[in-house]
Structure 1
Amino acid sequence: MRRQVLGTERSRRLAGVGDVACSPGGDRGHWGSMTQTEARPAPGGRTTSGIAFDDEGTGEPVVLLHAGVADRRMWSPLVPALSAGHRVIRPDARGFGETLPPLGPWSHHTDLLALLDELLISRAHLVGASMGAGVAVEAALARPEAVASLVLAAPGGALFGDAPGELAPIWSAEVEALDRGDLDTAVEVNLRAWVDGPSRPSDAVDPEVRGFVGRMQREAFELPEWDSESAPEHELSPPAAARLRELRCPILVIVGEEDHPSVRATAERIASEAPDARLAVWPGVAHMLTLERPDAFADAVLAFLAEVEAPPRPLRYVALGDSYTIGTATRTAPERWPDQLVTALADGRPTLELVANLGVNGYTTRDVIDAELPELDRLRPEFISLLIGVNDVVQGVPPETFEANAAAILDELLRRLPPRRIVVVATPDYTVTPQGASYGDPATQSAAIRRNNAILRGLAAERGIVFVDTFDLSLLAGIDRSLVADDGLHPSGAQYALWVERVAPMVEELLRRR
């Protein structure tokens, strides 16, 4: 756990799940026979700022970020499997292993990003355990384009936010033991908390795992400190725990059933709030699940990376809405905006395949719920667009009813797809067209459309869904009749083309978030 959680500046070594360290090196077997004299560091080096690291294998870069009760050695059992097809980089965080003390203000995530820069790595997969998971998320927030995906095991550190009350007795017991100079007790406190877990007896844990972590923990407590006043740690601001909805890369979260409730709750919160996250709960393991099940963890990481790195294929695209989606009065299907969107995105290789345009003349939000959403089970879409609202205004649907229906639609879409696979397009203003002006007072109806678009924008933002505002483009039909179809109401193919010029770049960005 980070020093701030402990509420003391007495030591970077007061650990829990955070600031501890140990000497680096390799291992023999998994853990049992490893000693410092037997340690054989893998090829690597040290950055100009003093970050020690190992660098093995070739392929897409994968950076392994260790827990706060370990150093880069904790990943040794996984490296052979991961480095068989990837470039695997294992740094020691500041204050751990062979990494040198900082000479001035520092932070874990800026150290990580500096390491990537020195290795000329523009984009990498980050795998973090406990404290390392927090560092990985901080890096993804600070430089989103540098992070291809995240694997977060037993997430802690910066992801806790405020210190969970249930963990305070653990940290207090550790501090008291260290104050007495009782390293044996301080080590045992951490073993019981983070290796055994809150409910398992010690003899239920592999003794090799327990011994390995115990040796690392004791070495950590024996390391010298640095002056935190001349080299303070700078936290990410706003903190990572409050910014999970900003994450835009694919995320796999793994947590053990035997871990502390606060860790499990943190994992669940990440999976719930991050737009493209999934959660796996492993039975029979606690906080150090990467050491208890190294082979299973390596398999899970490799399977996730294979999915993330797979060559893109066209996603099954379904367009939801009304006559403005189906393109009423357009001369040919290719003039409809969903078809134009698919064409605009192709660029030599299709990224979307329009499997169904479910738009129907006269449909309201209620009709989408009753008639279009049930079709999704059959169609199995991987990308969905929604354009709806014209007929809610024409039929005088109250704004509170429109809002409730629109929210229900978006929530159902999110039950099926992550936010990066959904786009909402603004309701157009039909009142500027010759036919639309006859539906009632144009000013009143135009104001209602603007109000409903504000509702849609807000609902989408709350859910992390992209809203594309094309309302102003629909107004151009009032001065350029070539933008109106032959029926005097609906957009022509030329107007839809203007919409697509605005929609396509935003959808293209969504599709990059594989």
Structure 2
Amino acid sequence: MFKCISLLFLLFLGPISSTGQNKDISFLALGDSYTAATSESQVNGWTQQLVQILKKKGVALDTPIILAKAGWTSTDLLSNIEAQQPVSSFGLVSLLIGVNNQYKGKDINIFKEEFPQLLKTSIALAQNNPKNVFVLSIPDWSVTPFARLRDKKKIVKELTNYNTIIEEEAKKHNVMFIDITQSSRNAALNPSLIASDSLHPSKKMYKIWAKKISKKLLKQF
């Protein structure tokens, strides 16, 4: 189902690279289908659109390295980070994870234990600087056609519990938290915000997220 996504992201404390400077900001995006842009081409995902928006504002990001896949839970993301051993030198790291924990009915206590581990790992990968990391809330998939025969109130309640953990841990670790859940609910009235699979975001929805993230990040640049 949620065969993927993803951050996932940042506040930038160190020197900022802008277009025309010698070195662009390296960018690692961690997550699941939302970060992997399932059912869309990667160029239409929020990570790539974010790069393009910031480029126009004079902030140059490298093409994102995406460690995210449809269906990944927090457990899957942890194990894949360990297996791939990315270098700890990224200027920006995003984290967006948890929807598959909820969808698959995993014990939320697993997420309570693993999300802080993922957050600490994200900070370590961002040169041990929490200001180089940002976290995204889990979108609300109850508004999608895919969920029409499911218990939508239950989905919303459970996602709220997950997002509470995410926001609280982000604050505890001095990491930027960006809420995209509310904007994801616009899909209830605008079908064009949903991809052809009736579940994942479309290019238009990803653009909304990318714009919101860029505004948050630009305040730090």
Q: What range describes the TM-score normalised by the shorter chain of this pair?
A: 0.7 to 0.9
The answer to whether 1:470 aligns with 2:170 is no
Alpha-carbon distance, 1:349 to partner? 4.2
Relative to 1, partners in 2 of residues 1:390 and 1:309: Cα closer, same or farther, differing over 3 Å?
A: closer
Relative to 1, partners in 2 of residues 1:355 and 1:471: Cα closer, same or farther, differing over 3 Å?
A: closer
Structure whose CA Rg is larger: 1
In structure 2, what is the equivalent of residue 325 of structure 1? 35
* Native 8 Å contact 1:364 1:391 kept in 2: yes
Alpha-carbon distance, 1:376 to partner? 4.6
Alpha-carbon distance, 1:382 to partner? 2.4
Alpha-carbon distance, 1:432 to partner? 0.8
TM-score, normalization: structure 1? 0.38
Relative to 1, partners in 2 of residues 1:249 and 1:496: Cα closer, same or farther, differing over 3 Å?
A: closer
Out of 415, 419, 427, which is 2:124 matched to?
415
- 1:122-161 alignment, distance < 5 Å: none
- Counterpart CA distance in 2 for 1:508 and 1:502 is 10
Alpha-carbon distance, 1:420 to partner? 1.3
The DSSP-based 3-state class of the residue aligned with 1:504 is helix
Alpha-carbon distance, 1:377 to partner? 2.6
In structure 2, what is the equivalent of residue 454 of structure 1? 164
Moved over 4 A (4+): 308-312
Q: Taking CA–CA contacts closer than 8 Å with sequence separation of 6 or more, which of the two structures ends up with the larger relative contact order?
A: 2
Out of 377, 381, 384, which is 2:86 matched to?
377
In structure 1, what is the equivalent of residue 147 of structure 2? 436
Report the RMSD for the aligned CA atoms in angstroms: 2.1
* Unpaired runs of at least 5, structure 2: 1-11
In structure 2, what is the equivalent of residue 344 of structure 1? 53
Relative to 1, partners in 2 of residues 1:367 and 1:314: Cα closer, same or farther, differing over 3 Å?
A: same
- 1:177-326 alignment, distance < 5 Å: 308=15, 313-326=23-36
- Counterpart CA distance in 2 for 1:489 and 1:383 is 28
- Counterpart CA distance in 1 for 2:203 and 2:16 is 36
* Native 8 Å contact 1:323 1:361 kept in 2: yes
In structure 2, what is the equivalent of residue 155 of structure 1? none
Alpha-carbon distance, 1:413 to partner? 1.8
Alpha-carbon distance, 1:416 to partner? 3.1
In structure 2, what is the equivalent of residue 158 of structure 1? none
Relative to 1, partners in 2 of residues 1:366 and 1:335: Cα closer, same or farther, differing over 3 Å?
A: same
* Native 8 Å contact 1:321 1:387 kept in 2: yes
Alpha-carbon distance, 1:403 to partner? 1.4
Amino acid at match of 2:177: F
Considering fraction of residues, name the structure with more strand.
1
* Native 8 Å contact 2:46 2:209 kept in 1: yes
The answer to whether 1:427 aligns with 2:132 is no
In structure 2, what is the equivalent of residue 487 of structure 1? 197
* Native 8 Å contact 1:329 1:485 kept in 2: yes
Relative to 1, partners in 2 of residues 1:382 and 1:376: Cα closer, same or farther, differing over 3 Å?
A: farther
Give CA deviations for 1:41-66 in whole Å, capped at 9, x if unaligned.
xxxxxxxxxxxxxxxxxxxxxxxxxx
Alpha-carbon distance, 1:410 to partner? 0.5
- Counterpart CA distance in 1 for 2:178 and 2:146 is 25
- Counterpart CA distance in 2 for 1:413 and 1:472 is 24
Aligned length: 205
Alpha-carbon distance, 1:374 to partner? 4.2
* Native 8 Å contact 1:313 1:350 kept in 2: no
* Unpaired runs of at least 5, structure 1: 1-247, 251-307
In structure 2, what is the equivalent of residue 89 of structure 1? none
TM-score, normalization: structure 2? 0.85
Relative to 1, partners in 2 of residues 1:467 and 1:428: Cα closer, same or farther, differing over 3 Å?
A: same
